[in-house]
Amino acid sequence: MQRLRTVLLMFGLIMVGVACQSNSPGGEVTSTTEALPTVTELQEPQMVAQTRTEVTQNAPTASTELNMSATQTTTAIVEQTLTELGAQQTSEGIEITLPEDILFDFDQADIRPSAQEALANLNLLLENYAEAPVLISGHTDSKGSDQYNQDLSQRRAEAVKSYLVQTFGVNGDRLQTEGLGESDPVVPNTHPDGTDHPENRQQNRRVEVLIQTAQ
């Protein structure tokens, strides 16, 4: 009887051991491994972020678009101003002729109030061609002595320079002046028969501004 009890006790211990082994943590290793995220799943957010960065870098920014718009607007204004001033392109640069009747009273060298708009437009061009030196040349008709006309033309050129410097803050070092008097008329001061030609004389009394963009 004692021997039978011993055998039954040993059998029970063996069954308990088997049951414990079946419930050990080693049985869940496979399921834990299967639950881990794959490498592909980890990389997907990084790829999306990289794509978004590339799109952002390639897309035009608001500031770039504003700069382009401002440049186009400035170009249009400059072209309109060149037309209004009757500017001409020469081998030396841009030449603008300012008639006497706009700038001065007859035989005077003081800037008239009516010249303000024309000189404001001229200043706009000087701002656009900010690096270009400028030559301001005064001209007269042939009435009066050569010396008087040369002096008057020089004073008129200086008056235009002073106005640009004092009114708009243009750098005076950019502006060179000269008085050519009656030496360079654009049209004859008289008719072919020698009689006076007032309209032509008016054209000869002028100030020419050369923006030397060719340098």
pLDDT at 36: 47
The Cα–Cα gap between 201 and 121 comes to 25
Q: Which residues pair with 41 in a beta bridge?
A: none
For 88-211, give the CATH class: alpha beta
Give the mean pLDDT of 59-68.
55
Does the pLDDT value for residue 207 go beyond 70? yes
The Cα–Cα gap between 196 and 209 comes to 28
Does the pLDDT value for residue 96 go beyond 90? yes
Q: Tell me: the pLDDT tens digits for 134-190?
A: 999 999 999 999 999 999 999 999 999 999 999 999 999 999 999 999 999 999 999
Q: Tell me: the pLDDT tens digits for 106-130?
A: 999 999 999 999 999 999 999 999 9
Q: What is the pTM of this model?
A: 0.68
* CA separation, residue 209 to residues 19, 20, 53, 158, 164 (Å): 109, 107, 52, 12, 12
